[in-house]
Amino acid sequence: MAKKVTNIVKKGKDEPESSEIFNLNEEIIIGINSKKDDGKHKKKKEKKKEKKDNNSVNIKKKNDNNDYFIDIKSKSDNNDFKKEKKKSHKVLKIFFIFFLLILIIVLLLLSPVFNISKITVENNVRVSADEIISLSGIKLGDNTFKYINFDMIEKIKENPYIEDVKITRKYPDEIIISVTERTAEFCLKLGESYIYIDNQGYIVEITSEDYGVPEIIGFKTEIMNDSLGNRLIEEDLNEFGKIIGVYDSIKNNGIADKVISFTIEDDRLVIGLVEDKVAYLENFTNINIKILSLKVILERTAGKAGEINLDGQGTDSSAIFKEKV
């Protein structure tokens, strides 16, 4: 028995292992898949499916010999192509509309139906119609679409008397120019010249002609030959606002023809009046009451020279008259 066991052990060492014995670590067992492998297999299938969904396969006949070729196109490529095609159509559409507009404009410019045969100027008093038309640059016989309203308005406004301009077209062949003019309300003296300004402080004219409007004395604005259309400096405009308030009340009370001048002093406004009268004003509150008092005194002191203190307290009004001896 012991001998037999020895032989078996020797045989196991000397002879190769029987083919009936399997090493499970080294062999691949057919028909058995691990869970790990199943996961990988699933992912591969999903990727293939996704790739298949994203691609379209077209089999096309290549020639008469029945040879075929496979045309594979991605869906994303098709979408990009459609987008580019749509974009191209949009660009072509915009270009066509633009071309059509240009064509219409050219036809209008060439059509004699729209040639200007009449130019009408409205609301002008100080500036003549001929001068306004000349400034606008409009010429009879030209096509109405040749002129741009903005350009014409800016040219007409080069005249300092013109405050605002409105241009309308009465098709097919008339242009109407309506203007708003400034009014020379006051003047400054510079040597023998009169510098006229409107109620906004704009210099509208420099001339040797006297228009009989009140003179303002004491402004610091430097007047030059090229000052037309310019405005008074800020310091003068502050004082000018006070004068406007006083003069508006004077006009409302009907005594504007009695005023000769306004002189700006450090602490008061001096109003030069007819018949060698002069009025002094320091406090600009209750202007309407004070100017009404001035009107009463002017009526009662007709033909007399003297001084009027508009800030005083008289028996009949707030002003005091002191006759000149």
Q: Which residue has the higher pLDDT, 138 or 325?
A: 138
Prior bond of 214 cis (ω within 30°): no
pLDDT value, residue 66: 55
Hey, how many other C-beta atoms are within 10 angstroms of the C-beta on 155? 16
| 241 and 305 together in one domain | yes
Distance between CA atoms of residues 315 and 230, nearest Å: 46
Tell me if 163 is assigned to some domain. yes
Q: Which residues face 167 on adjacent strands? A: 177
pLDDT value, residue 41: 53
Distance between CA atoms of residues 309 and 52, nearest Å: 105
User: The CATH number of the domain where 222 resides is what?
Assistant: 3.40.50
Residue 9: pLDDT band (50, 70, 90) is very low
Among candidate residues 181, 203, 237, the one where a domain is terminated: 181
**What is the domain count for the chain?**
2
- Sequence-ordered list of residues with C-beta below 8 angstroms from that of 300, at least 6 positions apart, any chain: 321
Tell me if 260 is assigned to some domain. yes
Among candidate residues 181, 205, 234, the one where a domain is terminated: 181
| 205 and 124 together in one domain | no
The domain in which residue 129 lies consists of: 113-181
| 223 and 278 together in one domain | yes
Does the pLDDT of residue 58 top 80, yes or no?
no
User: The CATH number of the domain where 151 resides is what?
Assistant: 3.10.20.310
Classify each residue of 290-324 as buried b or exposed e, where b means 16 or more C-beta atoms within 10 Å of its C-beta.
bbbbbbebbeeeeeeebebbbbeeeeebbbbbeee
Tell me if 28 is assigned to some domain. no
pLDDT value, residue 145: 85
Among candidate residues 127, 158, 181, the one where a domain is terminated: 181
| 266 and 141 together in one domain | no
DSSP state, 58? E
**What mean pLDDT do residues 289-314 have?**
90
